[in-house]
Structure 1
């Protein structure tokens, strides 16, 4: 069994390939048990931490499980909020094949899932992306959305302007993004109004995006706010948008952006237009027009992890040759 580090994973999971592979996986025959989601007390922090256990398998091929902790206040320790490992095993013998850095795998597959949704939901000529949040997911979401749509301009917004500027400098230095111009948003409302796609990846407990700011034709991608008491978008976003999710089971139970509007009656279950399984299988289609505002809520799914790990395993000979 080999440990696959962050530095090794990144070049193996290019976004065009990973997005295509996810689309195939959401049409495929996998077994995905309900993930374990456990919040646990952290006496040294003001907020609870979370333990996630996410198993999945493709019969006769691979079995995988991700073990992840989410500690929202890890910034004060100069540590990432998300940490963990992904174990990939042979589906026939059960023999462990690879142990992967789960944080890198997670940010890659999460960003790819948002880009996959964007293929179905955003305007094909979307050129301006607003990235709300400056954490580990932000650069990956920018790269993934740029692989799905002809992004030419990216505006960055963060609670701490210094972090947004630092992120912009890192992105400018990335040769893969040399065709994109970057700018820093001082006012979030104005930045939302100007963008074609708004992608949010924060740990906000109160809505950052107001539906009143949205304009026809936009696509809102909500990736953060992973707990039932966290939200990135307000009720007006729900009321003005066609709502899509990665999975019904996860989105309706685990995240406040969908669960709270459902509990309060702002959103009805039958008003959620489709999940990624239905879109990829073409069981449902997005009826986008120039007036449509679409909203996609992602909470993550074990199928995405297994698919990324399988692609890593398939490309391991590249590492051996190097």
Structure 2
């Protein structure tokens, strides 16, 4: 049995080469594509144990090669902690225990990339030049990292992180020197609502979004981060990836922005997004307006991406993503001699 800490996982993932990043992407695409056709994939509903002091969440999942369970502990007064346990479904052997935080952030951003790489670029009409990221946590950082890793050199010119508070942006800025060293042609900046008057912030945000090609929103916002009018001042096709809201009361964008893809919204899971996404619930979106990523990569029956409107992607996450990415991280770690092997778990 192999143990991987959060620090070790972060080291592995932040050191990926483009070819390795593409391998992770292909694994996720293949898994999502087989979700509706493979009866061997099981994702039971998560269960919870609630006490006065905390909530524990249990999320089991299994496919043909691996069985796993993600356990997340949510204390009332301390940071969230979690692990992913991987088992061999044939003999029940415990294969590995991995920290869950870094993998969750990485796999969520990678889910966005499954559509980002397909819907943007010179051949699609949606550029990747100017990227705006709402948020300042690991999810936001991984969206930027993977957009850079999986894009041709020179296609991304600027990335700006937008956040209400300044403190977390300062923490995020600590990785800028590393990223600038890896991508010297990319301008990186931040915009904080906290340090400006409301009028100055809105003016800068309006200009930033007007020039944007790609927007990643990674915030648990309860009201839209911007109005649709900010995009309409410079009308063009854009890619919007939304992963921050995961409860009905949350809303990262307004209804006009949500439906700016001609009423079509790409999702990781129709059922989960209709139940959990506040944006979809408020807009009264129905299942026939949703297209799952697995349908986009469905071979001869693949759904074609609309060439005339924005491309809007909504992701709330699923256990299968944790399973296949954790398994790949474990395999990479063992090959590299990373982590700790513990005997006696047969």
Same fold, judged at TM 0.5 (above): yes
SS of corresponding position for 1:173 = helix
The question of 1:201 aligning with 2:218 is answered yes
SS of corresponding position for 1:32 = coil
The question of 1:237 aligning with 2:257 is answered yes
Deviation at 1:10, TM superposition (A): 2.8
Kept after mapping to 2: 8 A contact 1:156/1:168: no
The question of 1:257 aligning with 2:274 is answered no
The question of 1:211 aligning with 2:211 is answered no
Match of 1:222 in 2: 242
Kept after mapping to 1: 8 A contact 2:252/2:279: yes
The structure with higher relative contact order (CA 8 Å, sep 6+) is: 2
Deviation at 1:143, TM superposition (A): 0.8
Deviation at 1:41, TM superposition (A): 7.7
Match of 1:67 in 2: 71
Question: Highest CA radius of gyration, 1 or 2?
Answer: 2
Which residue, 64, 67, 90 being the options, matches 1:92?
Answer: 90
- Equivalent residue runs for 1:273-284 within 5 Å: 274-282=291-299, 283-284=301-302
Pair 1:238–1:188, CA change in 2 (3 A): same
Pair 1:178–1:10, CA change in 2 (3 A): farther
Match of 1:269 in 2: 287
Question: Could you tell me how far apart the structure 1 residues matched to 2:172 and 2:106 are?
Answer: 17
Deviation at 1:25, TM superposition (A): 1.6
Long gaps (5+) in structure 1: 44-48
Match of 2:33 in 1: 27
Deviation at 1:50, TM superposition (A): 6.2
Which residue, 103, 118, 123 being the options, matches 1:120?
Answer: 118
What is the aligned length? 304
Kept after mapping to 2: 8 A contact 1:131/1:156: yes
TM-score, normalised to structure 2's length? 0.79
The question of 1:3 aligning with 2:21 is answered no
Match of 2:177 in 1: 172
**How big is the alpha-carbon RMSD for the aligned residues of Structure 1 and Structure 2?**
2.5
TM-score, normalised to structure 1's length? 0.85
Kept after mapping to 1: 8 A contact 2:273/2:316: yes
Question: Could you tell me how far apart the structure 1 residues matched to 2:22 and 2:55 are?
Answer: 31
Long gaps (5+) in structure 2: 192-200, 340-346
Question: Could you tell me how far apart the structure 1 residues matched to 2:63 and 2:258 are?
Answer: 35
SS of corresponding position for 2:33 = coil
